[in-house]
Structure 1
Amino acid sequence: MAQTWRSRPTDPDARRTRPLDPAGLERIALRYVERYATTRAKLAGYLGRKLRERGWSGEGTAEVDALVSRFAELGYVDDAAFASARAAGLTRRGYGLRRVSATLKAAGIDADDAAPAEAATREQAWEAALVFARRRKIGPFAPAVPDRAAREKAFAALLRAGHDVAVARRIVQCGPGDVPEMDLG
């Protein structure tokens, strides 16, 4: 039996979207920033994609950069707060400075806005490495003394997670149950 509630509309133009005008562009931008924590670059990319998909019916060209700047002035978009929150979340999950920096750069956050978040991540690097090691059962959290291949694999995992070489080496060299202190000299 056919389900009528899932049938397609009879009007073929009913699913087509109209091109955006200035009010429509602002409306979808507001909807985006109310639903997602975002950056200036992500908002500009989203609006650019919507303009490519739907087209522009306003006069001249769409002022995406002006709209994004206005939203930043109003506090709807805050790159520094986004960087701080994203860095704190990644650090709590056990990721290191290199991984956090790469994530912030991919989100389009400039160096000035990312600097405080990276400094906080740098201060918590040792704790983050231990969280990662505990989660992956590496070094002091391993169930048994690993062989050379397992240590190399664990070392590589710590490096991919963005941790410093000295931190990764220190954690991998620990035996099960021997949680080292932070002294990295």
Structure 2
Amino acid sequence: MTFGKPSGKPSKKYGERREKRPPKPLDPTSLRDLALSYVARFSTSSHKLEQYLQRKLRERGWSEDAEEQPDTAALAQKYVELGYIDDEAYARAKSGGLLRRGYGARRVSQALHQAGIDEAIREEVSPGEAARREAALVLARKRRFGPFGPTVDRPMREKHLARMIRAGHGFDTARAVLDAPTEAAAEEWAAQAYLDE
């Protein structure tokens, strides 16, 4: 009984990998398609889209049939004009997300700077004192610092202070959270900022 004719091609051995073909060089249409796919899938800034397109050009190259090198900055700007990218909305969402995770204003500003967000927009979305204090409480609760965790000795307290500062909180904010005698006192300190605003 036969189960089929041999194809004449040698069979692949177990574990043998297929050779990868080099990716096809980009042309104006494929570059636009990549950009559109990227903005459809990810919340992004114009700068991040431009970086993505430049990386793809380095990886895949530019088609010899296309006459001139693409202007990735112009393509990103076109998507801003079409409303597919909104740097201010991206900055607000990114800022809010980082604050909710317990990061301080300095880390928020650094993240927005890395995303290529303009200084004026960074200033506009900069968190107020109440949001800064709330973020500090979030981090302290999550990491069990200060009144949210067990009593610690001085060297461990200094490590907690350093961690809060690395997370982007100011020294005074971090110290106020760590020195709070109780959870209620820390929450009252954070709530006071809303009354002062």
Give the secondary structure class of the aligned counterpart of 1:94.
coil
Gaps of 5+ in 1: none
Alignment of 1:124 with 2:131, yes or no, is yes
**CA 1:104–1:97 in 2, change beyond 3 Å: closer, same or farther?**
same
Name the structure 2 match of 1:179.
185
Structure 1 residue 121, shift from structure 2 partner: 5.1
In structure 1, give the amino acid aligned to 2:54: G
Partner of 1:32: 38
Q: Determine which of 9, 21, 24 is the counterpart of 1:18.
A: 24
Q: Partner amino acid for 2:178?
A: V
Structure 1 residues 157-179: Cα deviation after superposition (integer angstroms, max 9, x where no partner): 11111111111111111235453
Residue 114 of structure 2 aligns with which residue? 106
Tell me the CA shift for residue 105 of structure 1.
0.6
Q: How many residues align?
A: 179
Q: Choose which of 132, 155, 160 in structure 1 pairs with 2:161.
A: 155
Q: Post-superposition shift, 1:2? A: 6.3
Q: Is the CA contact (8 Å cut-off) linking 1:96 and 1:129 kept in structure 2? A: yes
Q: Is the 8 A contact 1:158 1:168 kept in 2?
A: yes
Q: Deviations over 1:33-61 (max 9, x none)?
A: 11111111111111111111111122122
Given candidates 67, 76, 87, the residue that maps to 2:75 is: 67
In the other structure, the counterpart of 2:146 is: 139
SS for the counterpart of 2:185 is coil
> Rg bigger for which structure?
2
Query: CA RMSD of the aligned region, Å?
Result: 2.4
Which amino acid in structure 1 is aligned with residue 132 of structure 2? Answer: A
State TM-score, norm by structure 1.
Answer: 0.87
Does the aligned pair in 2 maintain the 1:88–1:121 contact within 8 Å?
Answer: no
Q: TM-score, normalised by structure 2?
A: 0.82
2:85 and 2:112 map into 1 onto residues whose CA distance is: 15
The reply to whether residue 89 of structure 1 matches residue 94 of structure 2 is no
